[in-house]
Amino acid sequence: MALDQHTIELRELVLPSLANHHGSLFAGHGLQLMSKAAFLSARSYAQREVVMAGIRQVHFLAPTPIGCELLLRASVHRVGRSSMSVAVTGWAQAPDFGTQEVLQGVFEMVAIDAGGQPVALHHQGIHKESTP
Ligand SMILES: CCCCCCCCCCCCCCCC(=O)SCCNC(=O)CCNC(=O)[C@H](O)C(C)(C)COP(=O)(O)OP(=O)(O)OC[C@H]1O[C@@H](n2cnc3c(N)ncnc32)[C@H](O)[C@@H]1OP(=O)(O)O
């Protein structure tokens, strides 16, 4: 279960510059925004710098049309010694569109020291190796 204090929100307006030739959010831009949300959530939890070690899964559930607002929520839901799993969910919303869940992903982030080496996290309420 994600803890509210480690949940961050990111909002982006889907302009044509973010779109593909179908008139909806380009997958690469969607991944970039999800990565940014995962990074902000993990760094906020760790209270130190983090890097992305991997992406466990990403699902594009439905297209996000141009003109929609994309709301992303990211929260740390598993904590290891130095690693964290961050779940990211995205919703598309607009007055004439309603609200629809469009993106899901899990990102693996690792806390690092100044030399770029993994460093142990100080746990802040999520049990070690806990799962959602
Ligand atoms: C046009 C441009 C516009 C830009 C608009 C911006 C948009 C977007 C911005 C946001 C962007 C976000 C990201 C920002 C920050 C980077 O940009 S990070 C850059 C990309 N990532 C990297 O360069 C990381 C490269 N890898 C490494 O440095 C090392 O492999 C790591 C990850 C530090 C791990 O080091 P290691 O020596 O392998 O450590 P090791 O002791 O084996 O493992 C340490 C822990 O990592 C875990 N781990 C290691 N590898 C993995 C793996 N592949 N998967 C899962 N866990 C792993 C281990 O299980 C272990 O976990 P714990 O048991 O400690 O909990």
ipTM: 0.91
Q: Could you list the beta-strand ranges (E) of 14-82.
A: 50-60, 69-79
CA of 80 relative to ligand 1 center, distance in Å? 13
pLDDT bracket for residue 122 (50, 70, 90): confident
Query: Which residues partner with 70 through β-bridges?
Result: 12, 92
User: Which residue carries 């890097």 as its tokens?
Assistant: 51
Going by C-alpha positions, the residue among 62, 60, 73 that lies closest to residue 100 is: 62
Residue whose Cα lies nearest atom 17 of ligand 1: it is: 51
**Does 40 sit in the ligand 1 pocket, CB within 6 Å?**
no
Give the pLDDT confidence of 89-110 residue by residue, as tens digits.
999 999 999 999 999 999 999 9
d(CA 3, CA 24): 32
CA–CA distances in Å: residue 25 to residues 5, 74, 97: 29, 19, 15
CA of 132 relative to ligand 1 center, distance in Å? 21
Give the pLDDT confidence of 10-64 residue by residue, as tens digits.
999 999 999 999 999 999 999 999 999 999 999 999 999 999 999 999 999 999 9
Query: In this structure, how many other beta carbons lie within 10 angstroms of the beta carbon of residue 74?
Result: 28
The pLDDT assigned to 130 comes to 41
DSSP assignment letter at 67? T
Check: CB of residue 129 under 8 Å from CB of residue 83: no
Helix (H) or strand (E) holding 27: helix 27-46
Choose one of 40, 83, 129 to mutate for the ligand 1 pocket test, by most ligand atoms within 8 angstroms of C-beta. 83
Can you tell me the mean pLDDT for 69-96? 97
Check: CB of residue 59 under 8 Å from CB of residue 35: no
pLDDT bracket for residue 4 (50, 70, 90): low
* Domains of the chain (ranges, CATH numbers): 8-111 (3.10.129.10)
